[in-house]
Amino acid sequence: MRIKQISRGFLKGLQVTGIHLFRRPVTHPYPEQRAYTPPRFRGIHRLIVEDCVVCRACERVCPVNCLTISGVRGDNRRFILEQFDIDYSLCMFCDLCVEACPPHCLVMGPEFEIAAENRHSLRRSLLSQPKEEMV
């Protein structure tokens, strides 16, 4: 009786394997083929430095305090952004900072790869972004 149950389970497993053996794979080969990200995906932040007025609204609204922003007043009495850092070890990608930004200079990009060797290297400056990455 026990052998009958085992053989029935084994045959059922072979049947399921046979059904799925010649189907197209569901997963994608990740490094070679980029993962699909929907249009409103919340990925790594992007900053348009020229539009930032250093109002710090995004820093104040952040529930986990992962943003560090500082600036100085320039010759024409306009604030100049000196520091804009995000600690991705704390960030929960809630999008509240983007919604609070009055000049809309902070946006969420489609990138999501932020792997690091240690926790301290997850603190990134948005001022050092290459020009082609910025929106």
Per-residue pLDDT of 91-132, as tens digits, reads: 999 999 999 999 999 999 888 888 889 999 999 999 876 554
Q: Is 101 annotated as a binding residue?
A: yes
Q: Which domains does the chain have, with CATH numbers?
A: 45-128 (3.30.70.3270)
Q: Is 91 annotated as a binding residue?
A: yes
Q: What is the pTM of this model?
A: 0.69
pLDDT single digits (tens) 2-46: 888 889 999 999 999 988 888 887 787 777 887 788 888 899 999
Q: Is 66 annotated as a binding residue?
A: no
Cα–Cα distance between 9 and 46 in angstroms, integer? 53
Q: Is 105 annotated as a binding residue?
A: no
Q: Is 62 annotated as a binding residue?
A: yes
* Distance set, CA 125 to CA 15, 45, 72, 129, 132 (Å): 54, 10, 17, 8, 16
Degrees, nearest 5: CA angle 29-116-91: 100
